Amino acid sequence: MTRRPSKSLRSSDSFRRFVLDQLQGLEVLPRSMFGGTGLYNGQDFFGIIAADVLYLKVDDSNRGMFEMAGMKPFKPYPGRSGTMKYYAVPLDVLESAVELERWARAAIGASRRAKKT
């Protein structure tokens, strides 16, 4: 049986730096994970940088923002069912530090609420 190589979660250094620069208004701690980068605010895991895409944590309070923009959930393993509660950030939001910070704050809130359940 031949195994297909999995899609790498690795992102370019320039994309990672761009995202972190855009989020400089927040206290963001990047941590390497599975080839991608996890984004933390304190102990709150709120974002993932993977394959040059930024994904933010969602719950019922902010998922609609992503869905209205036509964005899809993070699916780290193509060919497997299931997704994670992180959605891709639209390009226009990613390019606006002010708007991205607003979306990131909503993702931090979603992360905090998930810990309480």
d(CA 21, CA 19): 5
d(CA 96, CA 19): 10
CATH of 13-110, one of 3.30.1460.30, 3.40.30.10, 3.50.50.60, 3.40.1110.10: 3.30.1460.30
Predicted pLDDT of residue 76: 66
CA 116 to chain centre: 20
| pTM of structure | 0.86
pLDDT (tens digit, 9 = 90+) per residue, 32-59?
A: 987 889 999 999 999 999 989 999 999 9
pLDDT confidence of 108, banded at 50, 70, 90? very high
Domain range annotation of the chain:
13-110
